[in-house]
Structure 1
Amino acid sequence: MTPVKLIILFIIITMMQHHGIIYRTGKRNSARLGREALKDAIQPRSSNLNGSWRLKEVNDSDPIMTGQAPVEFETPPKNQDLLMSFFQDGTFTQIKDNGEYSFGKWSYDSLTESVFLTSNKKTEEIQAAFGVNVNGLRMLTFEFSQDNSISLVENARKTEKFKEDPFYSENNKWRLKPTQHENERQVRDRLKNYILHNICILKAANAREQAYVSKEFSQGIIKFYNVGIGVVERKQIPQSWIDSFYSREDAMEAYGIFEDYLRYGDHKKHATGNWVRDDSNILTDIHNGLK
């Protein structure tokens, strides 16, 4: 490979890492199904909601402007990304690309083909329709009214053990901003839950044989390497991660705890030949070591 090609390749890899995407060779799209399986997966039934769905498009009429959108489930602006995940225990989570996080319960009515979303003690009924896009991926359309709807494309199929899904609520407690300053133990626990979330990202990517490992909806201080775990520079800490703490001071305390463990903690060597599994094992050691 010529020096010019090497430079171009380095730039591409750097850009992918900047956006939280690391590609894996020889892997497939985790959401694409075979023809027969796909036909069954778009039938109007509750089990077909399970998994993660990413915003595809918002129609021209914005419910936020017209006041027709449900209070707890507002249609995002057209330039904003959104990930919704539905789980077998009737819970869901919603994460925007700016780090805004919400969660609640859901149920599906196959007779009316609508979804009931409950959050903050309020329940909204939304018409839901399944379909397939040109790439063979499942689509989910939420219709608020005749002129107001959003379309989501399946981002990842459900995990076999849904409580190990990176976007399951128990793995996202770190996103819940506290109402007051936290002590060292509480900051450490918040950091450990964030680490657990990243462990789940890697485990899910490995189990699904994903084509890439993405942290687009999980911006923070952890960096994945092939093989290894690192930490971003202080000046590159995402604001959305800082905002998950009560204050910047608390966030920097968590950063310091993680950075110190990387430098001075005891680390086992992991070399299975699968960097995703190795990074998951390394993070698990760090999580368990932060007692």
Structure 2
Amino acid sequence: MKKLFCCIIITISLAACKRDSSELLAGRWDFSALEMPGMPDFLYEIKQTGDDNALTLKKFLLDNKLILRKDSTFDLVLLKQYIHGSWHYEAATKYLFLKDSSASNLDITIHIDSITGSRLIFDIDEFALNKLVNRHAAINNYYDLLFNKSYCQFYLDIDNDRYSDLKDDPYSIENNKWRIKPFQQETDKQIKQRVLNHLDFWQNLFTDAQEKDRTYVAYTWFDSPLVVAENGVKLEFYDEHKKEWDQNFYDSTDANKGYQMMRKCFSKKLKFMETEDKYKRHEDVIRQLKANYTEALKD
């Protein structure tokens, strides 16, 4: 009887392991490290004084994230690129296919090397990685050092954040519609809504920081001409963000329209809340920007 009981336990355990190999993929994953040819030179270029290799890579990949949702949709932020679409995993080949739903056509094929309840390790195909690097490489982010690598292996750790409503999740499509490139020219009304979603995104960042009691909010995983700082908020010149901003629209004409609309956020004077809670103060100023924007562009 004891032997039979042990056999049953082993059988159940094996079945669970087999199931978990694919089902464990569904969840939120934080990029924490990478491995590729030329790592010593790469680390030398990006490392700050006093940081070890692990901290250096965490900073480089800060708030980059892969979310594989149970409804077979995904949200990916990697090297500033946001991609939303559908995912499919082939257990036999260990390939994870990410199908981009936008006009950017940034489909990505990933090979799963290892998956546990707390860590995910995968290789990304060189062609897909090069596309991301080309879109977002800049002098100050070192993304170009990942270009044309024969392989690039990423290490991700489980993210325990949970959201009952997608509209509360900073990485969900609800807060990132402004980053989904459209398939055709948009009307002024659609562009107006795209920019408003961008402002909603900003507001959600600070709402989330308060609700989750976060110690920091990183701005390195997206690009915006809007700058929120300790001493205020400003809109930088279009040309300073043209490469990144244009990618969120059908073309540069629509992108410039969106930028000109966003200038309306500053049509009225802003009042800064007197509070020690900087995220509450930031959220309040974004609310004012949204109110100015909506009032100035109302039909």
Structure-2-length-normalised TM-score: 0.58
SS in 2 for 1:197: helix
Partner-residue secondary structure (3-state), 2:263: helix
Q: 45-54 or 240-249: which moved more?
A: 45-54
Match of 1:140 in 2: 120
Matches within 5 A, 1:63-212: 83-87=65-69, 89-97=71-79, 99-106=80-87, 117=97, 119=99, 127=112, 129-130=114-115, 139-142=119-122, 150-154=153-157, 157-163=160-166, 164-212=168-216
AA in 1 matched with 2:173: S
5 Å-filtered alignment, 1:254-269, equals: 254-262=258-266, 264-265=267-268, 267=270, 269=272
Residue of structure 1 in register with 2:140 after alignment: none
Return 5+ residue gaps in structure 2 as ranges. Answer: 1-19, 38-59, 102-106, 126-149, 295-299
Larger Rg: 2
Partner of 2:30: 53
| 3-state DSSP of counterpart to 2:281 | helix
In the aligned structure 2, how far is the partner of 1:120 from the partner of 1:225?
A: 33
**1:245-256 to 2 correspondences below 5 Å:** 245-256=249-260
Q: 2:225 is aligned with what amino acid?
A: I
Whole-Å Cα distance in 2 between the matches of residues 103 and 216 of structure 1? 19
- Contact 1:139/1:151, CA 8 A, preserved across alignment: no
**In the aligned structure 2, how far is the partner of 1:144 from the partner of 1:234?**
33
| Higher RCO structure, 1 or 2 (CA under 8 Å, sep 6+) | 1
Q: CA deviation at 1:228?
A: 3.7
2:10 maps to none
Partner of residue 50, structure 2: none
Q: Deviations over 1:94-130 (max 9, x none)?
A: 2332x54322345789x99x78555269997854635
Give me the CA root mean square deviation: 4.0
Does the Cα contact within 8 Å between 1:159 and 1:204 map onto a contact in 2? no
Structure 1, unmatched stretches of 5+, are: 1-42, 61-79, 133-137
Residues 196 and 100 of structure 1: is their aligned pair in 2 closer, same or farther, counting only changes over 3 Å?
same
Instruction: Report percent identity of matched pairs.
Output: 16
Cα gap change, 1:275/1:161 in structure 2, threshold over 3 Å: closer, same or farther? Answer: farther
**Rounded Cα–Cα distance in structure 1 between residues aligned with 2:195 and 2:109:** 33
- Match of 2:217, SS state, is strand
Amino acid at match of 2:277: N
Structure 1 or 2: more helix by fraction = 2
Please give the alpha-carbon distance, in whole angstroms, between the structure 2 residues aligned to 1:285 and 1:177.
27
How much does 1:245 deviate?
Answer: 1.3
